[in-house]
Amino acid sequence: MIDPIHYPVLFLTALAAGFVDAIAGGGGLITIPVLLNLGLPPQLALGTNKLQASFGSGSAAWHYARAGLVDVRACWAGVICSFVGAVFGTLAVQCLSQALLQRGLPWLLAGIALYLLLQPRAGTAPGRARLQPATFYFLFGLAIGFYDGFFGPGTGTFWTMALILWLGYDLTRATAHTKLFNFASNIASLAAFLLAGNVLFAAGLVMAAGQLAGSWLGAHCVITRGTALVRPVFLTMVLALIAKLLWQSWRT
């Protein structure tokens, strides 16, 4: 369905998306419009995007774990709950409307951006945990995982802010853990798209190669530069996501 002549474009698109996503999330803002502009139907574009995004989030999580920023054994409950939540979200999207979320989400994201602007030291250093990890992973794993399966945009933003506000993580460590939970919910959603036959494998695997390279580069930058890099990129992607959602709401 996609002419092989476009594969270099898909590779470079995924490379850029993987780099941005490993740092701050929001890679779908780059990849999905490109897939749609190449003529893919929405469901096929979303399924193919989940395939390549799973490689990116999995690769970034692995690099962060190797660097000691993620203790997988300590947050396995979050991984499981994210997966389960995404399964239910993917099932729910088939019978519920996304319209209310699409209208309300920009305001929630705007609140996050405003908080970060008014609290310039938020996430610059570890803070105080407000919830026990088990409680946090159960509540937020199910909720954000469900959201990722149901709608998706801003999932990484919500995970990062939740980890900062409720577990007291700094921005670098929160970003690292976000990739692990994103990977779990991506895999759950990908399974649903695969069962429905809505994945274009050739294009998805070309993009996966770009994601692997981009996520390695992005994770390396975060590991070496930390919050000084993550904060401005994170804010930029939040504002870009707000603009995209408002534009979509205005069009409809």
Q: DSSP states of 178-223 as a string? A: HHHHHHHHHHHHHHHHHHTT---HHHHHHHHHHHHHHHHHHHHHHH
Residue-wise pLDDT for 184-240, tens only, equals 999 999 998 999 899 999 999 999 999 999 999 999 999 999 888 888 988 888 888
Per-residue pLDDT at 252 exceeds 70 = no
Higher-scoring residue by pLDDT: 150, 169: 169
Return the pLDDT at 100: 62
Each residue's pLDDT tens digit, 47-73: 999 999 999 999 999 999 999 999 898
Structural domain containing residue 247: 4-251
Write down the pTM of the prediction. 0.90
pLDDT at 251: 66
> What span, in angstroms and rounded, lies between the C-alpha atoms of 51 and 222?
24
Express as a percent the part of the chain with pLDDT over 90.
59
CA distance 58 to 210: 13
Looking at the 3D structure of the chain, how many domains does it have? Answer: 1
Over the stretch 95-112, which tens digit does the pLDDT of each residue have?
766 666 667 777 778 887
